[in-house]
Amino acid sequence: MFQSNKEYNNFLIQSGVHTFLQETPNNLLENQENQSKSQEKIDVKKIDEITVIDDLIPIITNHESALKNNAKKMVLYNGNLNSNLMIIGEAPGQEEDEQGIPFVGRAGQLLNKMLLAINVDRKDVYVTNVVPWRPPQNRTPTDQEILEFLPFLQKQIEIINPKFLYLLGTTAAKAILSTPLSLGKLRGKWYEYNTPNLGSPINVLVSYHPAFLLRSPNYKKEAWSDLKMLQKKLNEY
Ligand code: URA
């Protein structure tokens, strides 16, 4: 009846056989209706497959967020991608927003000095924030915004896989340790952070944000004690 395999293949395709010979039930109507939803799913799947920061950058850049509306530049990270130490701040401020680099303003300069005091060069550390866009008027990111960007932060931690996380301020502590407790209660102790994709837990220390230390220098003594704890662990490693 058919002159060639090609004709037979065309007949099968035209009969629609390829749409029902599938392992999972196929609801064509639903698939059409959910086309935009499945587009979102593709992005989520892509993030699972990512193993390098460079592939994460376009995904975060394209992520639609209200925070983008008032910000100038996305601020993702700077420093050493192979570092044992990852520092997580809150969100970019004005200078970070202008330069697209985290911790370059006054708080960043204090951070550099704090690190140098324990013999750590800022260039050797991976530095990032909970939120990559500057919130309007430098306000604290809302819980909703923290949750919105948490998958991207978790992905960065999984890719960098540092030995130590140093969390600066309550926003970073909230995001990573899932706790509303104050810095006074959280600091001075080691915690562990883990996800199903990490080989082993990461040691976590929480301390005061350098911007807070600039406003309240009487907390510098505790911040110094936290830095010494970090230095001890880094030296043991
Ligand atoms: N404060 C932060 O939390 N992050 C920055 O990058 C700058 C200031």
Q: pLDDT digit string (tens) for 156-173?
A: 999 999 999 999 999 999
The structural domains of the chain, with segments of one domain joined by +, span 5-236
Q: Which atom of ligand 1 is nearest to the CA of 169?
A: 3
Q: Which atom of ligand 1 is nearest to the CA of 172?
A: 3
- Which H or E run includes 79? strand 77-79
pLDDT at 47: 85
Domain 5-236 has CATH 3.40.640.10: no
Pocket test for ligand 1, best of 99, 110, 129 (most atoms within 8 A of CB): 129
pTM (predicted TM-score)? 0.82
Which among 56, 113, 118, 61 has a CA at the least distance from the CA of 81?
A: 56
Q: pLDDT digit string (tens) for 45-80?
A: 578 899 999 999 999 999 999 999 999 999 999 999
Residue 147: other Cβ atoms inside 10 A = 12
Q: Which atom of ligand 1 is nearest to the CA of 90?
A: 3
Q: Is residue 211 within 6 Å of ligand 1 at its C-beta?
A: yes
